[in-house]
Structure 1
Amino acid sequence: MSSLVVLVGNPRGGSRTHLAAVAAAEAVGRRIGYEAPPEVVDLSGIGPHLFTPGPSPTVEVALELVAGAQVLLVASPTYKATYTGLLKAFLDRLPGGALAGTVALPLLVMGSPRHALAVELHLRPVLVELGALVPTPGLALLEAEIPDLDRILADWTDRVAAQVAAALERRATA
């Protein structure tokens, strides 16, 4: 079982979403005592395999990695006030309850503050539907804030690290 996994739903490789997601996972990981870097599932590289008929070993490995995470940070750019269709297509491949016992952290990167509620109204519910425990508010990150990412993440981890650690503790004793 992997400890900390990042799922990036941006269709473009090397995106700001990828950068922010990995940095956020590393920041939370440090605060809750995970020493290993997070494993990353970047859907930009496996997107074409999601839409081919029949099973794909690449997709199956990614699904197993995500479903086996203790902590899963799920990130997407905001498209049309929600997460990407690519992320939705991947999450639809997970069976109901696949994230039971997983502590999930939603993160959306957005161009406008008008979309700030999307992280709570759209991304959180799909993670909960899959069985994940989402113990903290998600991170709604404006693209304009990315140059100040270290400060933004320090503030965010100050707010969420204790809740994530407590959720992991409950998970361990359940």
Structure 2
Amino acid sequence: MTKILNIVEYNKASLGNRFLNNLLDLFTLIILNIIITSISDILYAFTDIEFFYLYGNGGIGWQILFGNINCFIYYFSMEHFMNGRTVGKYITGTKVISTDGTQPTSQQIIYRNLTRLIPFDGLSFFGVNGWHDSWSDTRVINIKNYITEIQAKSEIDGLGKKEIA
């Protein structure tokens, strides 16, 4: 059974922040896709390799496939290598952490991002937590509030202890 800290639950990001994160990350993904498509078109012009043509000009099936691959790579690389944060999370002051208050493992981030590929994952937030949070045992928290509460608890725990100068 997974340990869930109350401090993590109390400092979850608001649905408004989560929605804004989603919009900002979607905008970032659109910009990245435009750049990749342009590069792909240029490479196709020089090499005549069919893959580069399909990336920018394939049918809806190819667009869904490449879109999901790009989405997975973006979220995984950002959340794994940028300390649980994406572009949207940097702007809104939020980050992903495990429910036990630690940095998420690579496995948790993989689960989190594979779950995002489920078509109705976005609607799962009408419940308590979204699927990609619940199934990966992660939460998106407001960093400022979380750190403030951690410091307050640390100061309370330190009351009455003798200081050594």
Q: Same fold, TM exceeding 0.5?
A: no
* TM-score, normalising length: structure 2: 0.24
Question: Which is strand-richer, 1 or 2?
Answer: 1
Structure having greater relative contact order (Cα 8 Å, sep ≥ 6)? 2
* TM-score, normalising length: structure 1: 0.23
Structure with the greater alpha carbon radius of gyration: 2
